Amino acid sequence: MDRTQLLLGLAIALFSLGLLGVIVRRNVLVMLMCMELMLNGVILSLVTFAQQTATTVGAVLVFLIFVVATAEIALAIPIVLLLVRDKHTLDLGAYNDLKG
Amino acid sequence: MLTLIVLLPLLGFVLNGVLATQLGGNRVGKNFVTVVGCGLPILSFLLAVKALLDLQAGGYVPIVETAYRWALIGRIPFEVAFYFDRLSAVMTLVVTGVGSVIHIYSVGYMAHDKSFGRFFAYLNLFLFFMLLLVLGRSMLVLFVGWEGVGLASYLLIGFWFDDLANARAGKKAFITNRIGDAGFLLGMFVLYQAFGTLNMDSINSGFAIGAAAVVPASLVGILLFIGATGKSAQIPLHVWLPDAMAGPTPVSALIHAATMVTAGVYLVARMSGVYLLAPEASAVIAIVGTATAFFAATIAIVQTDIKKVLAYSTVSQLGFMFLALGVGAYGVAIFHVVTHAFFKACLFLGAGSVIHALGGEQDVRKMGGLWKKIPLTFWTFLIATAAIAGFWPLAGFWSKDEIIWFALASERGGSPLLWAVATLTALMTAFYMFRLVWLTFFGASRMDPEVEHHVHESPLSMTGVLVVLAALSAIGGFISIPHFLEPMLPLPATHESLHHLETPLKYLAMAIAVTGVLGAWYFFGDGAKRAARVAQTFAGLHRWLSNKYYIDELYERVIGQPLVWLSDAVFLRFSDRRVIDGALNGLAALGQRSAGVLGRVQTGSLHLYAWLVLIGIVGALLWSWRHV
């Protein structure tokens, strides 16, 4: 098993772990962290493919994605804070106001 | 100068309408209103006299004055142009002259009304539109005036709009006139298509030089006459005029007796070029006119409201005018317009004076014995009554006698039948008018003691006008208007074989007037006991007449109720509520129902959404893997 396959397997493992976390955990903060795991899995696969094709564009793109991810999490945390201030719980089950 | 004649009353309307009403906060007092409201019409009258002198000096070549180019469509200009010839001269003088004296009368009559300024504003507005009507060269300008006087009439009938009945009467007048206007408009369209112009002198000469092949004269004639039946209250559109008496009495005198209602007569006389080539239309006019004269007179015999009697009398006299038009005696019809303006204005204003004296009482059954208490009103009323009844040498004798003569002898459709009905109507006219005099002024008083105590003669501004109009009713017949108009509206030829009857017929007319008076005296002289007995004997007929042949009820049944049903059941309940509202409500309900079903998917559980996303992604991946 060469390095590329190993890295791709790691990426898939990270993504699946994150997805599993999003699906089974009810804590909002944990779910956010799991999403970050998924994102990092995807980024790892991107870097791996960039290495394989020997282009620098992929590596540059990774930094861009980091910046966007930082901005996104900087928005997501305050939203969670506001939600918590409203309902005093991190349990996602309480936030079903959009139920049809 | 013609422009000025027309615009002066408009100026009065603007000044009074803005300054003396609620609109401008009642800035000015009654004196200002009086000076402006009466002064400007009088000025118009003086200018009209001046214009007549100019016309005379110019050898009766029509004066044309273009005030404004309204529109240019293609190469055809539509101009607001005024046209002053013999016919418009007569009409303008009557409108401004009689209009002015009625304005002066209104100063006294309306003195205690809280809307004094508004009243004069409306009256001036009416004069403006009426002058536009009689002076307009194009039918379009005439039509603007035609609609405008309808508007002014509506406003003035409903002047005391706090009473729902008055507002309703105004509405009735307006709507009834619309029916006639539709005919008028169609006539204008036909003429415009045929001639490419609406100038009435061009249309008349166009017909005279034989352009009649382009458009059937009878069609135009009938369409225009439909317009005239609306404005001039002829069968079958006569129903609005008696109700129009809801307005203040000077309005009834000015608009619904002397001027506006004669607009239809003026229109037909003005378009005589068409009617000369339209014997069928002329026959229709003569028959409708005679029928109107007869039926209105029969109704007038039993009415008990003093103004209603006069209203039906007006309808009847208008019928006489149309009879004259129908037999081609256009000048005679205009003659009767003028004399009728004098004596009917006098009668209405006299009735107004009586009503004023009795504090608003209009029922002749509650009058009687007034002649000693309000002598000036009585004498002027008597002169005007004698004039309308056709006593020699008063104004009505000359004009009515000529109408009856031409109804018999004209070669343009005169016939013994028309003559017989017209003569019978003349007899009834004398009878119902003197019945009115007897019930109002003679016999024992039937007033409430309270009312009787307050009876007083009207102020000088009212009685002075009565005297002027009574004098005109007396001598107006000596102004030979048919002769004056003859170069323009030639009188029809008469059957040679009937000429020996002309003088005997004049004596017959006198005899008829005397018979009418004696009949009125016989039936109503003795406290109306004989009349009451006759009414009891013919109770059915009396009821039939008192209810005006149930024509209002008939229209209500045949036209009103089906229209209401159609509007309610078809337009409102089916079309509006079911189709339009139903379609929109149905769409909304569909949206609501589908949202109810689809809304169940939105469980609010983020985990479920994530699962669904996962399944979706996996499904999409599988699909693309199988298909790519």
Query: What is the tens place of the pLDDT at every residue in B340-369?
Result: 999 999 999 999 999 888 888 888 888 878
What per-residue confidence (pLDDT) applies to B347? 93
What per-residue confidence (pLDDT) applies to B537? 84
- Backbone conformation region of residue B291, classed left if phi is above 0, alpha if psi is from -120 to 50, else beta: alpha
pLDDT band at B323 (very low <50, low <70, confident <90, very high): very high
Give one DSSP letter per residue of B82-94, joined into a string.
EEE-HHHHHHHHH
CB contacts, 8 Å: B600 with chain A? 100
**Inter-chain residue contact A100 with B606, CB threshold 8 Å:** no
Nearest-Cα residue of chain A relative to residue B601:
A100
Residue A1 has pLDDT above 70, yes or no: no
Mean pLDDT across the stretch B198-204? 86
Nearest-Cα residue of chain A relative to residue B603:
A99
Torsion angles phi and psi, residue B165, rounded to 5:
-60, -40
Can you tell me the distance from the alpha carbon of B447 to that of B374, in angstroms, rounded to the nearest whole number?
Answer: 14
What per-residue confidence (pLDDT) applies to B214? 65
**Inter-chain residue contact A96 with B604, CB threshold 8 Å:** yes
CB contacts, 8 Å: B610 with chain A? 19, 22-23
CB contacts, 8 Å: A96 with chain B? 603-605
**Inter-chain residue contact B599 with A95, CB threshold 8 Å:** no
Specify the higher pLDDT residue, B48 or B364: B48
- Kindly report whether the peptide bond that precedes residue B236 is cis, defined as omega within 30 degrees of 0: yes
CB contacts, 8 Å: A92 with chain B? 606-607
Lowest-confidence region among B69-78, B148-157, B424-433: B69-78
What per-residue confidence (pLDDT) applies to B611? 85
Let me know: does B218 contact B280? Beta carbons within 8 Å: yes
Three-state DSSP at B371 gives coil
**Inter-chain residue contact A95 with B606, CB threshold 8 Å:** yes
CB contacts, 8 Å: B607 with chain A? 23-24, 26, 92
Specify the higher pLDDT residue, B348 or B114: B348
**Inter-chain residue contact A100 with B605, CB threshold 8 Å:** no
Can you tell me the distance from the alpha carbon of B296 to that of B227, in angstroms, rounded to the nearest whole number?
Answer: 19
Q: How far B574 CA sits from the closest chain A CA (Å)?
A: 36
Q: What is the pLDDT of residues B120-132, one digit of tens each?
A: 999 999 999 999 9
**Inter-chain residue contact B614 with A23, CB threshold 8 Å:** yes
**What tokens were used for B279?**
């014997």
Residue B605 has pLDDT above 80, yes or no: no
**Inter-chain residue contact B605 with A96, CB threshold 8 Å:** yes
Can you tell me the distance from the alpha carbon of B100 to that of B110, in angstroms, rounded to the nearest whole number?
Answer: 15
**Inter-chain residue contact A95 with B604, CB threshold 8 Å:** yes
Strand partners, B81: B66
Residue B519 has pLDDT above 70, yes or no: yes
Q: What is the DSSP letter of B74?
A: T
What per-residue confidence (pLDDT) applies to B536? 83
What per-residue confidence (pLDDT) applies to B23? 78
The minimal CB distance from A100 to the residues B602, B606, B614 is found for B602
Lowest-confidence region among A10-19, A83-92, B125-134: A83-92
Mean pLDDT across the stretch B160-164? 88
pLDDT band at B533 (very low <50, low <70, confident <90, very high): confident
Q: Please identify which residue in the block is written with the tokens 């013999």.
A: B86
The minimal CB distance from B604 to the residues A22, A24, A98 is found for A98
Cα B319–chain centre separation:
13
What per-residue confidence (pLDDT) applies to B53? 93
pLDDT band at B410 (very low <50, low <70, confident <90, very high): confident
Mean pLDDT across the stretch A13-33? 89
CATH number of A3-95: 1.10.287.3510
Percent of chain A with pLDDT over 70: 97
Domain boundaries, chain A: 3-95
Nearest-Cα residue of chain B relative to residue A18:
B610
Q: What is the pLDDT of residues B470-509, one digit of tens each?
A: 999 998 888 888 888 888 888 888 888 888 888 888 889 8
pLDDT band at B213 (very low <50, low <70, confident <90, very high): low
CB contacts, 8 Å: A97 with chain B? 604
Nearest-Cα residue of chain A relative to residue B614:
A19
What per-residue confidence (pLDDT) applies to B482? 86
**Inter-chain residue contact A19 with B614, CB threshold 8 Å:** yes
What per-residue confidence (pLDDT) applies to B174? 92
What per-residue confidence (pLDDT) applies to B424? 93
Which H or E run contains B80? strand B76-84
What per-residue confidence (pLDDT) applies to B76? 84
The minimal CB distance from A99 to the residues B604, B610, B611 is found for B604
What per-residue confidence (pLDDT) applies to A67? 93
Q: Please identify which residue in the block is written with the tokens 């037909």.
A: B268
Nearest-Cα residue of chain B relative to residue A25:
B607
Percent of chain B with pLDDT over 90: 45
* A22 inside 8 A of chain B by CB: yes
What per-residue confidence (pLDDT) applies to A100? 60
* A78 inside 8 A of chain B by CB: no
Q: What is the pLDDT of residues A45-68, one digit of tens each?
A: 998 988 888 888 888 898 999 999
When the pLDDT of each residue in chain B is averaged and rounded to a whole number, the result is: 89
What per-residue confidence (pLDDT) applies to B530? 79
pLDDT band at B212 (very low <50, low <70, confident <90, very high): low
* A76 inside 8 A of chain B by CB: no
How many CB contacts within 8 angstroms connect chain A with chain B? 31
pLDDT band at B314 (very low <50, low <70, confident <90, very high): very high
When the pLDDT of each residue in chain A is averaged and rounded to a whole number, the result is: 88
**What tokens were used for B37?**
């409201």
* A56 inside 8 A of chain B by CB: no
pLDDT band at B370 (very low <50, low <70, confident <90, very high): confident
**Inter-chain residue contact B603 with A95, CB threshold 8 Å:** no
**Inter-chain residue contact B604 with A92, CB threshold 8 Å:** no
Residue B226 has pLDDT above 90, yes or no: yes
Can you tell me the distance from the alpha carbon of B553 to that of B70, in angstroms, rounded to the nearest whole number?
Answer: 44
Q: How far B588 CA sits from the closest chain A CA (Å)?
A: 18
Mean pLDDT across the stretch B92-104? 93
Can you tell me the distance from the alpha carbon of B322 to that of B223, in angstroms, rounded to the nearest whole number?
Answer: 15
* A94 inside 8 A of chain B by CB: no
